[in-house]
Amino acid sequence: MDRQLIIETMVTHMTLEEKVGLMVHRAKGVSRFGIPDYNWWNEALHGVANNGEATVFPQAIGLAATFDDQLLYRIAEAISIEARAKFHAVGKEQAERFHRGLTFWAPNINIFRDPRWGRGQETYGEDPYLTSRMGTAYVRGLQGNDPYYLRAAACAKHFAVHSGPEGLRHTFDAQVSQKDLEETYLPAFKALVDAGVESVMGAYNRVNGEPACGSSYLLQHKLRGQWQFKGHVVSDCWAICDFHKNHKVTQDILESLALALKTGCDLNCGDAYYYLAEAVQKGYISEADIDRSVTRLLMTLDKLGLIHDDGPYQGIDLQQVNWEAHHSLALEAAEKSIVLLKNNGILPLNKEKLSYIYVTGPNATNIDALLGNYAGVSSNLQTILEAVVKEAGPEITVTYKKGCPLAEKRINPNDWASGVTKYADVTIAVVGRDISLEGEEGDAILSSTYGDFEDLDLSDEQLTYLQRLKESGKPLVVVLMGGAPICSPRLHELADAILMAWYPGQAGGTAVANILFGKKSPSGKLPVTFPKSVRQLPEFDNYAMQGRTYRYMDEEPLYPFGFGLSYTNMELVHGECRWSSAAQDELALSVQIKNTSIRDGEEVVQLYMHWADAPFVVPRWSLVEFIRLPLAAGEVKTIEFVLPLEHLRCIDPDGQAVLPTGRILFYAGFNSPISQSTVLGSQEGITMQIQRDKK
């Protein structure tokens, strides 16, 4: 018998009270139908969170820096296996306990449009295509490949147009054009719906006047209408109460829940839906509105095997979790995520030439700087100090002093910590931020701006300390940790080498040490532009994309999107672009890459497009393809990118997709083009051009 029909029949035999009990995040089950109590609220952004021992992978922004969606697929698969095993270990009767379920409110696929946003660390960066690729990989890995059953359920959040300021999220109305909606803010959500994501979470803010969790345009017109989404929609936590308390678009809680339910919000994280029965009795909603949502929710539970106790994932237990393999996966991800921003030749460190290493800085021993937000816990956490000491071995002297705070405290002018550098062969300073300074509203306990930033530079305390360290004249290697761009031209001039390590997870210390000592060559790429300062940015609460990200930024950044150095020397030596057929419906672009160095390495080849003859404003450049590939020393490889014409659509001012005609420029390189003029004269990448006739 069709499972949907079984669920629909089941719902018709439930009381109103039973149905209402299923529609809040701490759902009350219906035992006579085999439906357990269940808590829908579970987190797995970069590992199973808040549920005991679990592998902690790099924060999402670090995973994006790998530019490796196949790696992210394997990570999501590992997360779901651990989640399944832990779920079965406690039994579904324990599923109502906090964070022990199988419905995960991840990934966060909002666009990191402004580097001041503290929650940008949860995203896959500023580019819609990169976000789509990484997000769909996460969904497929987490949910499994069975045509009906789910190993775990993923959730695309926060729908939509949500990226700060954190302090205004409960009141803010994001005014955005149709062009920016279709070009920037919605493509990743559409991609995840096409990939079969099981749920979508609405955002706190309004979008063009409508609260996102009660938006007829977003939830009905786009999600259910144009995109034909079949899963369930959940509100962000207590967002429905914002309708009347903060957005002032409704009068009271009954009007708010009615708006949310009728526009398609099926599940309430919060307490608004406790009033559903009263809303039915008073005529705000009908019981048919409730039946529709309950059916969707029960379909998700059935796909997870929680109603009929069946499906291919019931046998996963803790004995089947290959923890060592997952730990190795966490190390691989951390190594691939680290971005080398500067190197004057000091890296990699040569142990044969070192007798004394000084490790300093507030993040050298900081566990919070490994984790990031929405993190789980692991018994395998290793700090950077511990990993450097282990890698250096007993023959090399390693000393440590914290040296300075992350922020808010003045440095003693007579501090001894900076003076140690005169004895050391090299100083490794581990600085940046941690989750006490950046993140979600309420979590960043030391932030006066709700986890966001007013200044993107390092704190004055840290810069002053680094300046004193450099006064010794000895080499200074800086390891930056954090989830957002740390933009410091002064630091770039000061340091001999700079690594951006993000929040690298449980294996972060080992990964940094492996990069520092040359056991691995750095290969991470920036998934977000690092501007020179906030002065290069539009106002934070302006959601128009003009002037933002590498696609529309007018000024030269400190480090461009896609940037990352290596210990190897890779060159693109040849490129071709042609139509695959006379119909001009598919492009074939090939580039040849050569490793001209004496060591093996990995490189991310990035392909960007610009419609030169567009009759309306289009992005300066847009990422349309990328591939990460290993190359042995001296090896040459040819890469072919095949692009369907549909993949080249540009968005006009009315939000309509238009196929380009005339000249189309492509740039293949190792980071995004800074400007068209510099690219056309660049020796590092290859520019190709093709003409498409009008049909």
The answer to whether residues 267 and 343 belong to one domain is no
The answer as to whether 192 is a domain residue is yes
pLDDT of 358 above 50: yes
DSSP element (H, E) containing 277: helix 276-281
The answer to whether residues 574 and 547 belong to one domain is no
> Domain of 239: which CATH number?
3.20.20.300
Mean pLDDT, residues 66-82 taken together: 98
> Domain of 648: which CATH number?
2.60.40.10
CB–CB of 642/576 below 8 Å? Answer: no
Report if pTM > 0.95. Answer: yes
The answer as to whether 558 is a domain residue is no
Residues 162, 375: Cα–Cα separation, whole Å: 21
The answer to whether residues 309 and 364 belong to one domain is no
pLDDT for res 583 = 83
The answer as to whether 577 is a domain residue is yes
Selected catalytic residue, list 68, 183, 438, 461: 438
pLDDT for res 201 = 98
DSSP element (H, E) containing 630: strand 622-631
pLDDT of 409 above 90: no
Mean pLDDT, residues 497-508 taken together: 98
Tokens standing for 162?
């949500």
The answer as to whether 382 is a domain residue is yes
The answer to whether residues 426 and 543 belong to one domain is yes
Find tokens 């005169």 and name the residue: 422
Mean pLDDT, residues 334-349 taken together: 98
User: Can 236 be counted among the known catalytic residues?
Assistant: yes
Residues 6+ apart with CB under 8 A from 436: 368, 406, 444, 445, 446, 447
pLDDT for res 314 = 95
Selection from 44, 68, 67 nearest residue 57 by Cα: 44
The answer as to whether 221 is a domain residue is yes
Catalogue the E-assigned strands of 175-279.
199-202, 206-207, 210-211, 232-234
What b/e sequence results for 149-169 when a residue is b if at least 16 CB atoms lie within 10 Å of its CB, and e otherwise? bbbbbbbbbbbbbbbbbbebb
Of 552, 579, 612, the residue that ends a domain is: 552
The answer to whether residues 654 and 544 belong to one domain is no
The answer to whether residues 507 and 368 belong to one domain is yes
- In DSSP terms, 78 is beta-bridged to none
Mean pLDDT, residues 551-566 taken together: 96
The answer to whether residues 479 and 416 belong to one domain is yes
pLDDT of 503 above 60: yes
Find tokens 């993949």 and name the residue: 647
pLDDT in tens, 41-59: 999 999 999 999 999 999 9
Tokens standing for 168?
């205004």
The answer to whether residues 312 and 457 belong to one domain is no
Residues 6+ apart with CB under 8 A from 333: 57, 58, 62, 63, 66, 71, 75, 505, 507
pLDDT of 681 above 70: no
Domain count, the chain: 3
Of 253, 287, 320, the residue that ends a domain is: 320
pLDDT in tens, 304-332: 999 998 999 999 999 999 999 999 999 99
Residues 171, 15: Cα–Cα separation, whole Å: 36
Q: How confident is the model at residue 278 (pLDDT cuts 50, 70, 90)?
A: very high
Residues 672, 525: Cα–Cα separation, whole Å: 10
pLDDT of 94 above 80: no
pLDDT for res 664 = 96
Selected catalytic residue, list 122, 236, 452, 496: 236
pLDDT for res 682 = 44
Helix, strand, coil in percent for the chain, rounding step 5: 35, 20, 45
SS3 annotation, 475-537: CEEEEEECCCCCCCHHHHHHCCEEEECCCCCCCHHHHHHHHHCCCCCCCCCCCCCECCCHHHC
pLDDT of 679 above 60: no
pLDDT for res 1 = 57
The answer as to whether 441 is a domain residue is yes
CB–CB of 609/648 below 8 Å? Answer: yes
Percent of the chain with pLDDT over 90: 91
The answer to whether residues 203 and 72 belong to one domain is yes
The answer as to whether 387 is a domain residue is yes
pLDDT of 494 above 90: yes
Query: Which phi and psi (to 5°) does residue 672 adopt?
Result: -70, 150
**Segments forming the whole domain that contains residue 161:** 3-9+24-320
The answer to whether residues 272 and 346 belong to one domain is no
The answer to whether residues 575 and 456 belong to one domain is no
User: Can 266 be counted among the known catalytic residues?
Assistant: no
Of 552, 587, 621, the residue that ends a domain is: 552
pLDDT of 413 above 70: no
Residues 489, 454: Cα–Cα separation, whole Å: 17
pLDDT for res 79 = 98
Mean pLDDT, residues 523-543 taken together: 97
Mean pLDDT, the chain, as a whole number?
Answer: 95
The answer as to whether 649 is a domain residue is yes
The answer to whether residues 590 and 535 belong to one domain is no
> Domain of 505: which CATH number?
3.40.50.1700
